Structure 1
Amino acid sequence: MPVPAHAARFGRRAARRAVGTALVAGAVLTGTTATAVSADVPSPNGHGTHDKGLQRALADLVAARGGPPGAIAVLTRDGERRVYRAGTADVDTGRPPRAGDHMRIASAAKAFSGAVALSLVDRQALALDDTIGLRLPHLPAAWHAVTLRQLLQHTSGLPDYSRSQAFQDIVRADPRHHFDSRRLLEFVADQDLAFPPGSRYAYSNSDNIAVALMAEQATGRPYEALLRDLVYRPLGLRETSLPQGFRLPRPYLHGYATAPGEAPEDVSEAVSASGAWASGGIVSTPADLSAFIGGYAGPRLLAPATRHAQQDFLPGGASEPAGPGANAAGLALFRYTTRCGTVFGHTGNTPGYTQFAAATPDGRRTITVSVTSQVPLDPALLARLRATEEKFVCALLNQKHR
């Protein structure tokens, strides 16, 4: 698939600047301004006030200083889907974001690795108390006591490979570098655990790499095939994939890096997904992500006993970036307790994109909010995004929002 003209124009310069900032600061890239806003569904049956308020919230987010060029939210309630959008999916053409546009879902991909692992627990191919020593004995002996449960809840203590100097140096030099995804943990294989397993919470990208490797060891099948058979097919996800390269399927939401006084730079295809893999490499659409989170947070995908374990939440365990309200960590799933009620889901951010996906515990109501820049570097913008997410959660739960 050819690289589009705008990507070639900004090319490696944009990618290196964006990714370099991300690695140094831990989060990066705010957006630019845009004005168009619309809802795809009319506002019958008294929804008009809610619709206008939600549209205004998205428009204000896009228009904020450093805001993303585009934003799209998909709210599904008991079979009715409403799509809200602001700004543009592509600054070159000005076309609006669409629910079928592809995008990088970043760390929301961790929920997919949880779906694979917990589906295998249901099938008794894995157990939550299986250890790295049992399943992956080639990994450092110091890690062997870590369990699948601890990996899924980010209480493992595994050092984060994405923070290693060697990994960061490679990405800075060539953001499109093709990594051997199954060897990413080698970047920290010389390090001990950061703390005794299970003793505290610490978000680590290494955790979900290890989860995927355990799933492969237990089944003898590639992680990509397990995703297809255990997640995509059961939930009807036709536009979701785990690529190895940097290109995105067409059409897609363009993700941008912006800086004050400079034109936005397209970083949609700046970074290879191989360096994120099971921790953040999945490409999906707002529509597919909505269907996924309803199935994973709800009862459709997992057996009751496994769901009970999945929803053993650890207070204070925040997703990255933090979602709306008070965050608590379950097994590859977070609880977001807002002023209007509670939803389960996941967030994510990567150069060009920030994601929030959540559902009610029965899976019948879902909300996804996707924006086309990486916002966590700017605390004020992240606070605005979290407030916007909370407004959508309130609408989802039929509560008033301001």
Structure 2
Amino acid sequence: MFPPGRRRPDAPRPAGGLPVRYSHHQWRRACAGVAAAALLTVPAAVGSAYAATAPPAPSPSASASASSGSGFTQLTPAVTARLDAAIQKVMREANVPGVSVSVSAPGKGTYLKSFGVADKATGKPMTPDLFVRIGSETKTFTVTALLELVDQGKAGLDDPISKYIKGVPGGGKVTLRQLAEMRSGLPSYTEDPAFVQALLSDPKRPFTPQQLLAYAYKQPIQFQPGAKYFYSNTNLILLGLVVEKQSGMPLRDFIQQKVLTPAGLKNTSFPVGAEFPSPHPQGYTNQTLDGKVAVTTDWNPSWGWAAGAMISTLPDLKSWARTVATGTLLSPKTQAERLKVVPTGIPGAGYGLGIINVQGWIGHNGSLPGYETLTVYLPESQATMVVVLNTDILDGKTEPSTLFGQAVSSIVTPGHVFGLPVPEPRPSSSASASASASSSSSSSASSSSSPSSSSPSSSSPSSPSSPSSSASATPSSG
């Protein structure tokens, strides 16, 4: 996942139609009456010429106060009330069952609240400690694993993928760097009609990395390596295989031992199949063959593998946000390479090595059927923002996680609003029209917030009912 306000590039397209992509974050492709499954949330801008650049420059007002962190609004009771209202507004308008939000900065306080329900059938409330599927945020872990091998001299960013993996179309010209920053030109397996049909006809079936690559290799190369930015999940499958080959370990074991353990993430895991630690919320999607809303809790995420299969919790993601943005697991030289971004075709948004930079917020978003997450860090204020929710059903044209990120950041960091322009309409799961995602749910809120280190206060937000008009035509991170 990545770009705010855009649909995932791995999303399906309308039958026989062109992919509805968000420039670099475009996603979704439906084939022959089949809705494409969406995994990540990253913009895929098809077309910008490559140019490695530093992260987007902050606004003058924000930079003037960067050292003191004054670019982040103090979390007073009044600001907390504004956040409550903004989050509940997004819930109502986007018809989100449940969401947990955390935003904080040193000396400014911590906001941590959950609203709505984790299970619409039982009314079980959403809480911050629940395990969730994190979709494309998995990319930050896979690329961190790769970069650790780069630091060890076991892999080179400018090495061709053919040095490690045979049989990749044009592999002698595609580098590991280009794979990590989405400029390989390789097609995404998630846009292959046969893959979409196989996944949605049996969401519980397992997929192997080799099967995923086979779907990708049936499609034509998009462009010459390095020419453009194009969000492709295929890139991450290949990088995952490189990690396995060069480490001599299964990817999940390497990530556990060399990434999760050193980072202190005890509630983050790379599942083998459909296993899902408890407690967890039920996930709701309309990415189905008939377009009807389905519960995805026991769907097998193996189709995402190195690109989107992992599981985590809000507290772990909050810790991980800082780790990724500051590079505590990498050498300064390698971290500097990671933070260089390429244009995505979206103003204020760039893509680095497995990370996004949107208006200064560094991290990634994630989305796969039933769940969405957003985990970002703003270095200027040392601020962290994490959003987790149990639906991926779009609000008109926008990812719900982006709507929350935009609503929260517009209050706490008005100089760095996390959002992107609205993408083209999401195609329907059939060749005709978009499936309507209508489900009313009651919501409750379990919450804690503190302007500083004071004890948490609780509030009970109103429950979202049937969807109303879309929240806005502003950007959202898919």
Gaps of 5+ in 2: 1-28, 40-73, 418-478
Q: What is aligned with 1:222?
A: 250
Query: Equivalent residues in 2 for 1:169-180 (5 A)?
Result: 169-180=197-208
Q: Structure 1 runs of 4+ off > 6 angstroms?
A: 19-22, 398-401
Q: What is aligned with 2:265?
A: 237
Report the CA distance shift for 1:97/1:188 in structure 2 as closer, same or farther (over 3 A). Answer: same
Q: 1:24 is matched with which residue: 5, 12, 35?
A: 35
Q: 2:322 is matched with which residue: 268, 278, 294?
A: 294
Aligned mates of 1:233, 1:392 — CA distance in 2 = 30
- What is the deviation of 1:155? 0.2
Aligned-partner SS, 1:143: coil
Q: TM-score by structure 1 length?
A: 0.79
Report the identity percentage.
27
- What is the deviation of 1:78? 2.8
Q: What is aligned with 2:353?
A: 331
Q: 1:167 is matched with which residue: 195, 198, 217?
A: 195
Task: Tell me the alpha carbon deviations over residues 10-33 of structure 1, each in whole angstroms, 9 at most, x when there is no partner.
Answer: xxxxxxxxx9899625659xxxxx
Give the AA of the match of 1:112.
Answer: F
Matched, 1:185 2:206: no
Q: 2:396 is matched with which residue: 366, 378, 390?
A: 378
Aligned-partner SS, 1:296: helix
- 8 Å CA contact 2:87–2:407 kept in 1: the answer is no
Q: TM-score by structure 2 length?
A: 0.67
- What is the deviation of 1:396? 5.0
Task: Tell me the alpha carbon deviations over residues 45-84 of structure 1, each in whole angstroms, 9 at most, x when there is no partner.
Answer: 86112211111122112111x5210111122323964312
Q: 1:155 is matched with which residue: 166, 177, 183?
A: 183
Aligned mates of 1:167, 1:122 — CA distance in 2 = 35
- 8 Å CA contact 1:58–1:85 kept in 2: the answer is no
Task: Give the number of equivalent residue pairs.
Answer: 350
The structure in which a higher percent of residues are helix is 1
Q: 1:368 is matched with which residue: 382, 386, 399?
A: 386
Report the CA distance shift for 1:363/1:147 in structure 2 as closer, same or farther (over 3 A). Answer: farther
Aligned mates of 2:194, 2:154 — CA distance in 1 = 35
- 8 Å CA contact 1:151–1:207 kept in 2: the answer is yes
- 8 Å CA contact 1:99–1:285 kept in 2: the answer is yes
Give the AA of the match of 1:94.
Answer: G
- What is the deviation of 1:119? 1.6
Aligned mates of 1:299, 1:140 — CA distance in 2 = 30
Matched, 1:122 2:151: yes
- 8 Å CA contact 1:349–1:374 kept in 2: the answer is yes
- 8 Å CA contact 1:298–1:360 kept in 2: the answer is no
Task: Tell me the alpha carbon deviations over residues 89-112 of structure 1, each in whole angstroms, 9 at most, x when there is no partner.
Answer: 112332322222011111111111
Aligned mates of 2:157, 2:370 — CA distance in 1 = 34
Aligned-partner SS, 1:307: helix
- 8 Å CA contact 2:284–2:393 kept in 1: the answer is no
Alignment root-mean-square deviation, CA? 2.9
Q: What is aligned with 2:406?
A: 390
Q: Which has the higher contact order (CA 8 A, sep 6+)?
A: 2
Q: What is aligned with 1:47?
A: 76
Q: What is aligned with 1:4?
A: none
- What is the deviation of 1:376? 3.8
Gaps of 5+ in 1: 1-18, 29-44, 319-324
Task: Tell me the alpha carbon deviations over residues 300-334 of structure 1, each in whole angstroms, 9 at most, x when there is no partner.
Answer: 2221111111111112256xxxxxx8321111111
- What is the deviation of 1:173? 2.1
Report the CA distance shift for 1:120/1:317 in structure 2 as closer, same or farther (over 3 A). Answer: farther
Task: Tell me the alpha carbon deviations over residues 187-242 of structure 1, each in whole angstroms, 9 at most, x when there is no partner.
Answer: 22344421100000000010100111111111111111111122111111111111
Query: Equivalent residues in 2 for 1:52-91 (5 A)?
Result: 52-64=81-93, 66-78=94-106, 81-91=110-120
Give the AA of the match of 2:405.
Answer: E
Aligned-partner SS, 1:24: coil
